[in-house]
Structure 1
Amino acid sequence: MGARRTVYIAGAGIAGLTLALALAKFGLHVVVLERNASISEFGAGLQISANARKVLDSLGLSEAIAARSFAPEGIDIFPDGREKPLQTLTLGKAINARFGAPYAVMHRADLVDALHAAAKRFANIDIVFSVADFALERSGNGLTVSAQEPDGKIRKAKPFAFVGADGVRSATRTRYLGGPAARYTGKVAWRALVAPEALSDVLDLERTSLLLNPRFHLVVYPLPHRNAANLALFTQEKENDLSVLDQRSPRLKSSKDRRLTRILDSVGEGWTPWVLSSVETPLWHDGPIGLIGDAAHAMLPFQAQGAAMGIEDAAVLAPLLAASPTAEHAFSRFASLRQDRVKRVQQVSARNGRIFHMGFPFSVARNAIIRAEGPQGHFRRLDWLYGYDAIQSGES
């Protein structure tokens, strides 16, 4: 028997920790390099669709996620200030029955905490926090990783592979693979958490709500584990005028929409703005260095699949790194299995953004289609997305 394979991962976020768990279950030694001093996850709410949940359940996280998440009964769609939903898309038991796993919402930090807790139970996972920087040096087919640890010492290793799960501003992508910088999409996400009581008489908090408007769209769903409702408001902002980010509230003109006014009043200046950037690059790997998650394919969140794609990536890549003769072979196979699917999800997400912000008269046609598709029309439209089996794909 040869020495156990070691894989280094940059980033202890959702994609990085999921990959660490998946690799550890195959018996590999995993070292995760994290620049923060502890587990930290920006943002607030997170939607976990069936395609991602099946991966997480396979890693033993079913109970932890069930305890900290909520499964909405449906999605209420309110275009242009309508008092009653134009349509309520079915979720709940129906989506579980069709795709083999529930559709749930939870706080991003709760998912990262669950992943971290699971990782700590593996002796073959080592998470190093407060890593100031790392360096990669290629020599033939070999790789040397150097990382500065919190005490100032330099850790050096010659791993089988190095995986950049270091997010949208990935140093792995830009510094070591020569990939592009992230691109501003023209949109800003405004996130907030409010007490459920503040919205109980304007929205049904057993469901997710989607408010559509030509100038913005707003997603609201409950996070009972946090005793909060999550709000994600998306506005369009010109790149040369991002002074709005210095404020604590978005620039929205006064509205006759009673529901929207109540929601905005409940937050006040409690919004946190986040610039939305995307990453599009055909180069996901070179030799023993590869990318997963946002580092490879950050996308607009308008199909709520950014984290899910990183989770899928981990499930596909782990068995390849465990079984392939070289890391380059594993990464090459991984890219061939994932790139077309991820590109399709990116395109759907971008198209949804355009659909959500349609103005008159195009919004009339949009609304007619939403009404005609019925409560389960999204099942047929998204079978390819939610019905995907990442575990089987990686093992094929």
Structure 2
Amino acid sequence: MGAPRTVYIAGAGIAGLTLALALAKFGLQVVVLERNAAVSEFGAGLQISANARKVLDSLGLSQAIAERSFAPEGIDIFPDGRETPLQTLTLGRAIETRFGAPYAVMHRADLLDVLHSAARRFANIDIVFSVTDFVLESSANTLTVSAQDPDGKSRKAKPFAFVGADGVRSVTRTRYLDGSDARYTGKVAWRALVAPDALSDVLDLNRTSLLLNPHFHLVVYPLPHRNTVNLALFTQEKERDLSVLDHRAPRIKPGRDRRLARILDSVGEEWTPWVLSSVATPVWHKGPIGLVGDAAHAMLPFQAQGAAMGIEDAAVLAPLLAASPSAEHAFSRFAALRQERVKRVQDVSASNGKIFHMGFPFSLARNAVIRVEGPQGHFKRLDWLYGYDAIQTGKS
């Protein structure tokens, strides 16, 4: 037995830390390079569907996530200012029974804290913060990683592989794989957190709520662990206006929608804009350098699968890096197993954005389909998504 393989990862986000944990469980040495001074995540809430939860549970995180997440009973859909839900999609125990894991909502910072705390318990995971830059040099047989530690000392190593989990603006993708820059999607997410009392008589806070409008849509769900409610409002904004988003609230007029008016009043001006960009690159790897998560396939969040895809990536890639004869072989196999599925999720997410924002008369057809499908129609429609087993895929 030789020395264990070492894998360097750029980025201590959700995808990077999940991959670090998965690799460590296979006995590999892992070094994570993070540019920030501590684990941090922009945004507020995220949704963890069964396909992602099964991966996290396999890493021993089930109890920690259960303690800091919330499993809503369903999703209330309110199109065009309706007073009552057009449909309530079933979640809760039914979705757990069908897909083998619960559907939960969680604060991003809490998930990152769970991942980081778990990583710190592994002696074979080293997380280096405040790394401002790294340099990669690769040839047919060797890879050299150079970086400067926060104490000023130079770090130089020859790992088995380097994985860019460095997000939408990935340096790994653009500098070392000649990948394209992220593309603005024309949409902005406005984030806010409010006290539950402000909305308790407006929405059922045992459920997620989805408010649809031709000009925007709004997702609302509780985060009881933090005694708050997460709001994500999605609008269309011209690229020339992006520079002033931090200085104004979203331009939404509630009209006669009393529910929306109450929600907007509860937030006031306390919205944080998040520009939504996507990544479409056919090249996920070159030699011993590869990509995971948003660095490879950032997508619109309209199927709530951005984080889930990064978590799935980790489960598929880790056993390949552990067992493949070369990193290039592992990355090549990984791309073959993942690219078609991720493209399908990207397409569904983009399509949902169009469906959510349908205007009259197309919204009538959309609403009719939602009504006819019934409260569990999404189970069959999304079997391919929620029923996916990333762990078994990585073993294939």
CA contact (8 A) 1:244 1:251 kept: no
Q: 1:251 to 1:244 in 2, by over 3 A?
A: farther
Q: Which amino acid aligns with 1:144?
A: T
Number of residue equivalences? 396
Is the partner of 1:97 in helix, strand or coil?
Answer: helix
What is the Cα deviation at residue 76 of structure 1?
0.0
Residue correspondence of structure 1 range 134-149 to structure 2 within 5 A: 134-149=134-149
Is the partner of 1:299 in helix, strand or coil?
Answer: coil
- Give the distance between the partners of 1:82 and 1:129, measured in 2 at CA: 48
- Give the distance between the partners of 2:334 and 2:182, measured in 1 at CA: 22
- Give the distance between the partners of 1:254 and 1:73, measured in 2 at CA: 27
Q: Could you tell me which residue of structure 1 aligns to residue 260 of structure 2?
A: 260
Q: 1:203 to 1:306 in 2, by over 3 A?
A: same
- Give the distance between the partners of 1:374 and 1:140, measured in 2 at CA: 55
Is the partner of 2:295 in helix, strand or coil?
Answer: helix
- Give the distance between the partners of 1:104 and 1:13, measured in 2 at CA: 19
CA contact (8 A) 2:92 2:103 kept: yes
CA contact (8 A) 1:11 1:33 kept: yes
Q: Could you tell me which residue of structure 1 aligns to residue 114 of structure 2?
A: 114
Q: 1:374 to 1:288 in 2, by over 3 A?
A: same
What is the Cα deviation at residue 141 of structure 1?
2.1
- Counterpart check, 1:104 vs 2:140: no
- Give the distance between the partners of 1:215 and 1:178, measured in 2 at CA: 36
- Counterpart check, 1:132 vs 2:132: yes
What is the Cα deviation at residue 285 of structure 1?
0.1
- Give the distance between the partners of 1:141 and 1:159, measured in 2 at CA: 11
- Give the distance between the partners of 2:112 and 2:52, measured in 1 at CA: 14
- Give the distance between the partners of 2:76 and 2:248, measured in 1 at CA: 27
Q: Could you tell me which residue of structure 2 aligns to residue 334 of structure 1?
A: 334
Q: Could you tell me which residue of structure 1 aligns to residue 294 of structure 2?
A: 294
Q: Could you tell me which residue of structure 2 aligns to residue 377 of structure 1?
A: 377
CA contact (8 A) 2:246 2:272 kept: no
What is the Cα deviation at residue 246 of structure 1?
2.7
Deviation digits for residues 17-76 of structure 1 (CA, Å, limit 9, x no counterpart): 000000000000000000000110110001000000000000000000000000000000
Q: Could you tell me which residue of structure 1 aligns to residue 322 of structure 2?
A: 322
- Give the distance between the partners of 1:304 and 1:28, measured in 2 at CA: 31
Q: Could you tell me which residue of structure 2 aligns to residue 30 of structure 1?
A: 30
What is the Cα deviation at residue 238 of structure 1?
1.2
What is the Cα deviation at residue 153 of structure 1?
1.1
CA contact (8 A) 1:20 1:30 kept: yes
CA contact (8 A) 1:223 1:229 kept: yes
- Counterpart check, 1:388 vs 2:388: yes
CA contact (8 A) 1:248 1:270 kept: no
Q: Could you tell me which residue of structure 1 aligns to residue 209 of structure 2?
A: 209
What is the Cα deviation at residue 368 of structure 1?
0.3
Q: Could you tell me which residue of structure 1 aligns to residue 186 of structure 2?
A: 186
CA contact (8 A) 1:244 1:250 kept: no
- Counterpart check, 1:65 vs 2:65: yes
CA contact (8 A) 2:15 2:311 kept: yes
CA contact (8 A) 1:90 1:375 kept: yes
Q: Could you tell me which residue of structure 2 aligns to residue 177 of structure 1?
A: 177
What is the Cα deviation at residue 242 of structure 1?
2.2
What is the Cα deviation at residue 111 of structure 1?
0.2
- Give the distance between the partners of 1:303 and 1:61, measured in 2 at CA: 23
- Give the distance between the partners of 1:189 and 1:285, measured in 2 at CA: 30
Is the partner of 1:136 in helix, strand or coil?
Answer: strand
- Counterpart check, 1:282 vs 2:282: yes
What is the Cα deviation at residue 255 of structure 1?
1.8
Q: Could you tell me which residue of structure 2 aligns to residue 47 of structure 1?
A: 47
- Give the distance between the partners of 1:95 and 1:366, measured in 2 at CA: 23
Is the partner of 1:77 in helix, strand or coil?
Answer: strand
Deviation digits for residues 132-157 of structure 1 (CA, Å, limit 9, x no counterpart): 11000113321100011101111000
Deviation digits for residues 208-227 of structure 1 (CA, Å, limit 9, x no counterpart): 00000000000000000000
Q: Could you tell me which residue of structure 2 aligns to residue 167 of structure 1?
A: 167
CA contact (8 A) 2:96 2:102 kept: yes
- Give the distance between the partners of 1:105 and 1:245, measured in 2 at CA: 27
Seq. identity, %: 86
Is the partner of 1:135 in helix, strand or coil?
Answer: strand
- Give me the CA root mean square deviation: 0.7
Residue correspondence of structure 1 range 348-363 to structure 2 within 5 A: 348-363=348-363
Q: Which amino acid aligns with 2:335?
A: A
What is the Cα deviation at residue 248 of structure 1?
4.0
- Give the distance between the partners of 1:196 and 1:253, measured in 2 at CA: 23
Deviation digits for residues 178-200 of structure 1 (CA, Å, limit 9, x no counterpart): 00000000000000100000000
Deviation digits for residues 65-93 of structure 1 (CA, Å, limit 9, x no counterpart): 00000000000000000000000000000
- Give the distance between the partners of 1:289 and 1:83, measured in 2 at CA: 52
Q: Could you tell me which residue of structure 1 aligns to residue 95 of structure 2?
A: 95
What is the Cα deviation at residue 3 of structure 1?
1.7
- Give the distance between the partners of 1:255 and 1:313, measured in 2 at CA: 43
CA contact (8 A) 1:248 1:272 kept: no
Unaligned stretches of 5+ residues in structure 1: none
- Give the distance between the partners of 1:393 and 1:239, measured in 2 at CA: 39
CA contact (8 A) 2:31 2:127 kept: yes
